Amino acid sequence: MIAKYRFGSPFPTEATVVDLPCAQGSPAPFCAAEPEEGERRLGLHLSAEDIVYGLGEQPRGINKRGWIYRSWNTDDPIHTEGIPAMYGSHNFFVVCGEKPFGAFFDCAGRMTFDVGYTDPEELTVTAYEDFDLYIIRPDGARETAENQSDRTPAPVLFPVEDIVRQFRALIGQSYIPPKWGFGYAQSRWGYASEGDICEVADGYAEAELPLDAVYLDIDYMERYKDFTVDLSRYPDLKGLNAEMAARGIHLVPIVDAAVKVEDGYPVYEEGVEKGYFCKDAEGIPYVVGVWPGDSVLPDVLNADAREWFGSGYKFLLDMGIEGFWNDMNEPALFYGKKRLETAIEKTGEYKGKNIGDIGGFWKLSGLIGGLKNSDEDYNAFYHDTAVGRVCHGEVHNLYGYYMTRSAAEYFEKYAPDKRFLLFSRSSYIGMHRYGGIWTGDNCSWWSHILLNLKMLPSLNMCGFLYVGADLGGFGENTTEDLLLRWLALGVFTPLMRNHTTLGTRNQECYRFKNRKAFADVLSVRYAIFPYLYSEYVACALEGRMLFRPLSFAYPSDKRARGVEDQLLFGDSAMIAPVYEQNAKGRYVYLPERMKLVRMRGAADVSEEIWEAGDHFMEVEPGEVAFFLRPGKVMPLAADAAKAKNLASLDESKLVWLKFISEDTEYRLCRDEDGYRKSSLKDSFVRVVVKA
Ligand code: GLC
């Protein structure tokens, strides 16, 4: 049951795929709250036991109570608990109490969600632009069984999951990557040449570690120009791609949002000629600074410009490339050109003068430091959209979505039935139909393993199923144990990519001492692949979540409602990774009797039944431990230890993990080619697993 309320005349975000009529009256259970000028506020009372889930990419807990969250897509690499906003805006949450309901604020601009920050018992939503609000209540008829799927036995849907399922039907089917997009991948900013890429592929092969993809960061481009290759460092990218493809390895280049200002650079010249870049109030392309220095932003909110920018990917597609990551598309701005010039002038005023007191020094340093991602810039350029000229500041949160959409729409033309790998840093709900996301520039911190885990269910609720964090950590130096522990969570995340920044210590698995531990943990990914893929595709097609908080399946278990470091993974499993330095293991809470599965590599699997309650679970680095729920089964690829990548994984021979007392059916996704869109729905086979 969904009711839609309109506030003002919002920008059409195209987040939803169903056009609902607007309801009249007030959007209960929200009440109007006292707004400041230029704002709209809605509030509601939270009772002590209410839990608030959702909001997608945000810091802090799975239960969002106790903090204020902001939707304003921002390139900020310091992911502390107090980070003002992250890369994506996902304005959907569920209040889970006596009468659970979901709320989606479809608003292209700035918002805040004060979830008990100002007043612990109040939830206040503030919007700075017009918006549509969708209120979703559990659909009585479907409260306990999903009737959309032909899955038998139908997974039981509790009210919260039913709200999520209705929301997902409203926003459309989640993106499904090609099969190889689920393989383990290595990335780093700083692979400076073809030689570096070959060294990585060789390093993994020599260490007998699997590898499905190597990512190309901005280093491959000629002076960071989109849709170019630096021929002095990558003289034959097409040849390199073919060579890697023959080894079962995909190359995945980055594409940045901003286009370098440079005479003679065709992408820039063509975009200027056609009027496809964002413009200032006088209609002149607005110049900002990103990696290539002075740059302009493709107006991806303009349908023609979007089509034009998307066609730029052809340059790389024609080389045989099948996957991309879109970056800097909040859009991240290091400076606005005009403001930079003013700041430079002002710094000159300090020359030869006494700086005064320390305040003078901060003012001086702020002149340059304060230029980054500034509202003054975001409010100074415009988009030419189907509903007229719109100031960027009013629709800021849509930019990453529409950039990614531009690529996906072009892929659809380029090869209509083919699935390409595509994910983005910035996003908004709606983009989940076109690609996945990675959660940006985290750090090699233990706390970021937990942050990675906590965001998974919130992102899944908002439609983002293809998600992952930079495993091992992006900023700062990683350590062997941190990487091993993080990978032991990463084996479950659809995007499994090890990525780090320029100048950090080498982070490829083969660089570390305990090779056996790395071989073990990586091979688990390939072993569980038949399960991961079957669950992922089913969740995408049926609007369900791959990762759920425990409380979604055990709503009346008080302890389960508070668990913040364990998740249900697919229909059959519960995961509980180790995330503390020097820990020998961790405490786990079992809401019911479960089977502990320990994998020391794909071939060494041991099982043990544990009773409901609290346990200390010892886990060695390199070992992966998880739980099988009662009545459930999980297919494993029997020969995964031999797999060099997904292409070489023998999926025909399965072994079944089972915790059943009677024969049970599992719906296995047998998607042989792993590329096609059309055949996916028909690729499920029912397998009866004997007790
Ligand atoms: C951004 C991305 C990061 C990438 C870097 C250089 O910080 O988030 O993943 O490595 O840019 O392109």
pLDDT for 398 equals 98
Closest by CA to 461, choosing from 102, 82, 210, is 102
- Tell which one of 78, 186, 217, 443 to mutate to probe ligand 1, the residue whose CB is within 8 A of the most ligand atoms: 217
What residues line ligand 1, using a CB cutoff of 6 Å?
Answer: 189, 217-218, 254, 327, 425, 440-441, 499, 501
- What H or E segment, with its residue span, contains residue 88? strand 88-89
pLDDT < 50 positions in the chain: 141-154
pLDDT single digits (tens) 448-481? 999 999 999 999 999 999 999 999 999 999 999 9
Q: Are 650 and 545 in contact (CB under 8 A)?
A: no
> Which atom from ligand 1 is nearest to the alpha carbon of 441?
8
Tokens in use for 666?
């599992």
Q: Are 462 and 401 in contact (CB under 8 A)?
A: no
Three-class secondary structure of residue 682 per DSSP: helix
Residue 406 alpha carbon to ligand 1 centre in Å: 20
Residue nearest to atom 5 of ligand 1 (CA): 189
**Dist. CA 56 → ligand 1 center (Å):** 21
**Helix, strand, or coil here: 334?**
coil
CA distances from 25 to 6, 32, 99 (A): 10, 12, 20
For 496-554, the pLDDT digits (tens) are 999 999 999 999 999 999 999 999 999 999 999 999 999 999 999 999 999 999 999 99
pLDDT for the residue numbered 155: 52
- For residues 425 and 326, the answer to whether their CB atoms sit within 8 Å is yes
pLDDT of residue 573: 98
Strands (DSSP E) contained in 403-556 are 421-424, 427-428, 436-438, 467-468, 470-471, 496-498, 547-548
Give the distance (Å) from ligand 1 centre to CA of residue 266.
Answer: 24
Phi and psi (nearest 5°) for 60?
70, -150
Distance in Å, CA 165 to ligand 1 centroid: 33
| Fold classified for 530-662 | Immunoglobulin-like (2.60.40)
Distance 449 CA to ligand 1 centre (A): 19
- C-alpha 441 to ligand 1 mean position (Å): 7
pTM as predicted: 0.96
Distance of CA 226 to the CA centre of its chain: 22
Among 75, 189, 427, 476, the mutation site with the greatest number of ligand 1 atoms within 8 A of its Cβ is: 189
pLDDT of residue 355: 86
325 CA closest ligand 1 atom index: 9
Element (H, E) at 538: helix 515-542
Length of the chain equals 691
Nearest CA to ligand 1 atom 4: 189
d(CA 530, CA 3): 39
Residue 311 phi, psi dihedral angles, 5° rounding: -70, -15
Please give the distance, rounded to the nearest whole angstrom, from the Cα atom of residue 189 to the centre of ligand 1: 7
User: 263 near 269, Cβ under 8 Å?
Assistant: yes
Q: Which of 74, 187, 254, 291 to mutate to test ligand 1, by most ligand atoms within 8 A of the CB atom?
A: 254
Q: State both tokens at 218.
A: 């901005």
Mark 370-400 as b/e (b = at least 16 C-beta within 10 Å): ebbbeeebbebbbbbbeeeebebbbbbbbbb
Mutate to test the pocket of ligand 1, among 76, 86, 327 (most ligand atoms within 8 A of CB): 327
What are the beta bridge partners of residue 125? Answer: 42, 113
The pLDDT of residue 144 is 42
- Taking a C-beta distance cutoff of 8 angstroms, is the pair 575, 567 a contact? yes
- Superfamily (CATH) of domain 2-171: glycosyl hydrolase (family 31) (2.60.40.1760)
Residue ranges of domains in the chain: 2-171, 530-662
How confident is the model over 251-286, as pLDDT tens digits? 999 999 999 999 999 999 999 999 999 999 999 999
